[in-house]
Amino acid sequence: MDTMSTRPIIEVRGLRKQYGDFTAVDGVSFEIHPGETFALLGPNGAGKSTTIEILEGYRHRTGGEASVLGVDPAKGGLDWKARLGIVLQSSAEAANVTVREQLAQFARYYADPRDVDEVIEAVGLTSKAGTRIGKLSGGQRRRVDVALGVVGRPALLFLDEPTTGFDPEARRQFWELIRSLKRDGTTILLTTHYLDEAAQLADRVAVIAAGRLVEIGAVDEIGGGDARIPVVRWRDEHGLHEERTEAPAARVAELTATLGGEPRDLEVIRPSLEDIYLGLVHAADSAATSVTPSEAPSPTTQVTTTGVGA
Ligand SMILES: Nc1ncnc2c1ncn2[C@@H]1O[C@H](COP(=O)(O)OP(=O)(O)OP(=O)(O)O)[C@@H](O)[C@H]1O
């Protein structure tokens, strides 16, 4: 196998960041491979932005190892920076220039930039291309941030909460843009609080809480199989019932037979990435606060588990 092409784009080993006595990132390790979209998930203050900013070369780590495109980010020069696309959590563009002027100016810094008008179209700002940035709405400015991040045709794109403030249609349009960047082979490190966004875009996710890595794995595998057991929910004269079962169709057929008809308010619910994420974060919380760490709560509370079907 060609070791060059399989070498991780990002390698992080035992990464630590202290702010005085406070440990914001506490021994985090992961790798991101070429062409992968990797989402870093975690509650407010978990250490996501700190981690990303260390990898972008904006912050210095206190300990551990990091390599980004084969370079230590603490020592990356201008050539290295030119291969990164960065969308920070907040940014301050010049308010007095138009969207097109700002992008054209940025594009000049790069050897092989994307076509400015194509990028403007991809972020849905064609009708605002000639508008001064100061006159745009919050969500429209965020789209300019994303456009600035991708115009240099980066090998590696960092997206820190890219769709905050987007309306639902703009988010879907953004997802399409990210999918097209993925098709071009761009490696992407994303943070987001929208778990559906992570489920749509990411190949793998890492969950961090209080600076520590809680879980890492493929989107459809993290949390383990038990966290994915579907829930059958229905109502009868005694109230609402919920049962976790790996054989929901059989359970529904049985219920229908027992009740002599369609169960009222019937639902078969598959735990979403958000349910699984919340279970992981709550488990990390209780492990941190209790003497005897407790089990992860099930994705849906107050459910019983029935026997596994055939
Ligand atoms: N410059 C700083 N000085 C001191 N503490 C800091 C500094 N920057 C961040 N922190 C602290 O480090 C912790 C991690 O912050 P960070 O911004 O990395 O979290 P985050 O996971 O990105 O959160 P959010 O989801 O809210 O963006 C927080 O408790 C924050 O208060």
What would the pLDDT profile of 227-238 be if each residue is shown by its tens digit?
A: 889 999 999 889
* Ligand 1: centre distance to CA 47 (Å): 6
For ligand 1, pick from 48, 51, 212 the residue to mutate: most ligand atoms within 8 Å of CB: 48
- Residue bearing the CA closest to ligand 1, atom 30: 45
In the predicted structure, residue 297 carries a pLDDT above the cut 70: no
- pTM here is 0.85
Assigned token pair, 220: 């459809």
By the 8 A CB rule, do 248 and 230 touch? yes
Torsion of CA 51, 56, 61, 66, to 10 degrees: 90
Q: Residue 34 pLDDT > 80, yes or no? A: yes
CA separation, residue 260 to residues 164, 254, 255 (Å): 48, 10, 8
* Residue 146 to residues 34, 99, 135, 141, 193, Cα–Cα distance (Å): 21, 12, 17, 9, 17
Q: Is the ipTM of this complex over 0.90?
A: yes
Give the tokens for residue 163. 């769709």
For the stretch 72-102, pLDDT in tens is 999 999 999 999 999 887 776 678 899 999 9
Mean pLDDT across 203-224:
93
Give residues (CB < 6 A) around ligand 1: 19, 22, 24, 42, 44-50
